[in-house]
Structure 1
Amino acid sequence: MERIERHACFGGQQEVWKHASTSLGCEMRLGVYLPPQATQRRLPVLYWLSGLTCNEQNFITKAGAQRYAAEHGVILVAPDTSPRGPGIADADGYDLGQGAGFYVDATQAPWASHFRMHDYVTRELPALVEAHFRTTDARAISGHSMGGHGALVAALRNPGRYRSVSAFSPIVAPTQVPWGQKAFSAYLGDDHEAWKAWDAHELVAGASERLPLLVDQGEADEFLVTQLRPLLLQDACDAAGHPLELRMRPGYDHSYYFIATFIGEHIAHHARALVD
C-alpha cells in the first residue's frame, strides 16, 4: 500500500492509495476517508462501489459523503470499478472492459485473468483495509448503478459479511437488461443459468440471511425503464419475504446530484447498523 494523495476534509483526511492486487493482477487505486475519530479508536468501514466509467475519484469528489462519515465516525473506502492498465483486456464503448467490471468474477477469455472484481471487493480489499487501518470488524456496503448492483450482490452472496447494504439507482436485474446482458455474455459466457448467481433479483429467493435492502431511485432517471427496473426487485422481495425499502424520489435523475442529496441518509442508515 502506497499513499498517493492526502487532503484535510471535515476534520479528517481524504486519502488515495495504490497497491498491487493479487485478485486482479494489476495495480489498483482506492479512496479512503479517515474521519477525525480515526486518530482515537478503531472504526467501522463502509465500502462504496461506483458505476460505469467511474474510478476511485468520482465518489470522493462528488458525493459530499465525508461530512456525514465524520459525523458518524465511519471510514469510507471507494475502490476503482475495474482492473486497468497495459495488457488488460478492454473493449470499445463505456459499458464493457476497463471502467466496467460489473463486480463479477469473469470466467471467459480474455477477461478471466483480470476481471475478478467480486473477489477483490469482498475478500482482498477488506483484508487489505483491515490490515492497514484501525478498523473494527463491522462492514457495510453501498453503491450506485453498476455499483449498486455490485453492492446488493456482494451482500446477498456473502451472508454475515456485512452489517448493512444500500444502493442508489442499482441495476437490480442485470440478466434482463441490455447493460447486464452485454457484460454477462462477455464475462460469464452463454450459460444464462450461471448469470443468475450475479443477479440481485434472482438471489433474494434463496438468501439465507434476511439483511434489509435499502434502495433509492430517482423517478426522472433516464435509465429507469430500460436498465434499472427496480420494481423487479420489489416483486422478488415481496415473493421471498425479503425486507426491502424502495424509495422512489420524484424529480431526481441518475447523477451525483441525486447521490449527494441523499447520501447523508444512507450513511446514517449504515452507522446505526455498524456501531455496536
Structure 2
Amino acid sequence: MISRGRIVAVVIAVVTAVLGVALPAHAQPQGAHITGIEHVNDRWDKVSVFSPSMNKVIVNDVFKAPKAGAPTFYLLPGIDGGDDLDGPRPPGTKSWFGMTDIQGFFANKNVNVVSPLGGAFSWYTDWVADPGKQYQTYMTRELPPLINAEYKTNGRNAVGGLSSTGGTAVDYAVQAPGLYRAVGSYSGFLTPADNAQQVALTLGSGGASADAMWGPPGGPLWIAHDPSKNVAKLAGTAVYVAASGSGNVGAVDRLPDGFGPNITGGFIERIIADSTRVFADSAAAAGIPITYIVRPDGSHTWGLFESEMQESWNTTIGPALGA
C-alpha cells in the first residue's frame, strides 16, 4: 500500500516540475537529481531536474541520440528563458525546440541535444545577490553529470547560446575549463565589461538589477566573466562566434512577407556585431584560433540564430565532439 506521505511527495514533485517553483528550505532534497521525465516522442524528452543551488526544479528539453555513447550539445535560451513574454506562445515554446528544427537537423546525428528552460533575465550566470539565479552552477556542475548518467553519454560536451547567452556559453569554457570542448555564440554579446550599460538596460527591462548579477559594473566579476578579456583561457577550446554585419533583414530571418525592416532587431544585431568583432580581434591578438563569421544579412531573429547554430555544428562543434 502506498502511504499518504508518499502520495504527497509525488504530488509536490509533479507540481514543482511543471511550474518550476522553488521548494521551501525544509523540503529541499540533497543533491541535484532528476525528478521526472516526460516522453514527448521516441527521441524527445522533457527532463525535470532539481537544482540544489537554486532550490527549484528546472525543465530541460532533450533530443536523444540514436545510440548510447554519444556526446552532448547544450543550447541556452535567450533573455526570456524560452517564454514568449509579450506574445501568444505557451510557456517554454519560444525556445530552441519550439522555434527551430532541432529534430530535423539532428535526426541523423549521434548527439544528445539539451536545452534548459526558464531563467528569464538571468544571463544564465551565477548572481551574487540572487540565490534563485545560479545558472552557471547548474550548467557546469549540476546538470551535465545527470545527463551523462541518464543517457549514457561519452562525456564530451559543447554549449551554445544566443543573444544574451552567447557570451555566457563562451564564458562557461573560461569558468569551467575542460567541461565544454566547444562553444558557440549566435549573435551573442561578448563584451559585457566594456558595455555594462547595455547589459543593465537589458536586465532592467525585466525588472532585474545588473548590480545584483556581478556587483557594480566595472568590478572584478564583470571582467572575470567577459569573454573578450579572457581569451587566453580559451586555448584548446573550439570557439565559434557569428553575427550579421549589417543587421538588415534577409532570407535567413524567415520573417513573413511584408514584415518590414525589423528596426529593433537590426539595431541590436549591429551592437552585437561590434561586440563580436572586438572579441575576434582580442582572440587574434592573443593567438587563439577561433571560427569568426560575419553574416551579410540577419536582424537578430530565430532564423538567424538557427542558421548560425547549424553552421557552428558543421564547422566547429560537430568536429570538436567527434560527431
Q: Provide the TM-score with structure 2 as the length reference.
A: 0.71
- Which has the greater radius of gyration? 2
Between Structure 1 and Structure 2, the one with more strand by share is 1
In the TM superposition, 1:139-178 aligns within 5 A as 139-177=157-195, 178=197
Q: Distance in 2 between matches of 1:141 and 1:133?
A: 17
1:101 counterpart residue number: 122
Matching residue's letter, 2:116 = P
| In the alignment, structure 1 residue 126 sits paired with structure 2 residue 147 | no
In the TM superposition, 1:46-85 aligns within 5 A as 46-55=73-82, 57=93, 58-82=95-119
Deviation at 1:115, TM superposition (A): 1.0
Deviation at 1:192, TM superposition (A): 1.4
Unaligned runs of 5+ in 1: 83-98
Matching residue's letter, 1:250 = P
User: Of the two structures, which has the highest relative contact order with CA contacts closer than 8 Å and spacing of 6 or more?
Assistant: 1
Indicate conservation of the 8 Å contact 1:49/1:81, yes or no.
no
Q: Distance in 2 between matches of 1:74 and 1:160?
A: 19
| In the alignment, structure 1 residue 264 sits paired with structure 2 residue 310 | yes
2:267 counterpart residue number: 222
Indicate conservation of the 8 Å contact 1:213/1:244, yes or no.
yes
CA RMSD of aligned residues (A): 2.0
Is the partner of 1:137 in helix, strand or coil? coil
Deviation at 1:211, TM superposition (A): 1.7
- Which among 210, 218, 233 is matched to residue 236 of structure 2? 210
- Which among 43, 62, 76 is matched to residue 32 of structure 1? 62
Q: What is the number of residues matched between the two proteins?
A: 249
Q: Distance in 1 between matches of 2:181 and 2:166?
A: 16
Indicate conservation of the 8 Å contact 2:186/2:309, yes or no.
no
Moved more, 154-163 or 164-173: 154-163
- Which among 37, 40, 63 is matched to residue 3 of structure 1? 37
Q: Provide the TM-score with structure 1 as the length reference.
A: 0.83
1:43 counterpart residue number: 70
Q: Distance in 2 between matches of 1:34 and 1:155?
A: 24
**Identical columns (%):** 22
Unaligned runs of 5+ in 2: 1-33, 83-91, 204-209, 248-265
Matching residue's letter, 1:275 = G
Deviation at 1:103, TM superposition (A): 2.2
Q: Distance in 2 between matches of 1:216 and 1:7?
A: 32
Q: Distance in 2 between matches of 1:26 and 1:155?
A: 25
Matching residue's letter, 1:189 = G
Deviation at 1:202, TM superposition (A): 1.2
- Do the aligned partners of residues 248 and 208 (structure 1) sit closer, same or farther apart at CA in structure 2, a change above 3 Å counting? closer
Deviation at 1:157, TM superposition (A): 2.1
Deviation at 1:143, TM superposition (A): 1.2
1:275 counterpart residue number: 322
- Which among 23, 29, 35 is matched to residue 53 of structure 2? 23
| In the alignment, structure 1 residue 241 sits paired with structure 2 residue 275 | no
Indicate conservation of the 8 Å contact 1:217/1:249, yes or no.
yes
1:180 counterpart residue number: 199
Q: Distance in 1 between matches of 2:96 and 2:214?
A: 28
Question: What per-residue deviation string (whole Å, max 9, x for no partner) do you get for residues 38-60 of structure 1?
Answer: 3xx32110011121113254101
Moved more, 230-239 or 48-57: 48-57
Q: Distance in 1 between matches of 2:302 and 2:199?
A: 21
Deviation at 1:174, TM superposition (A): 1.2
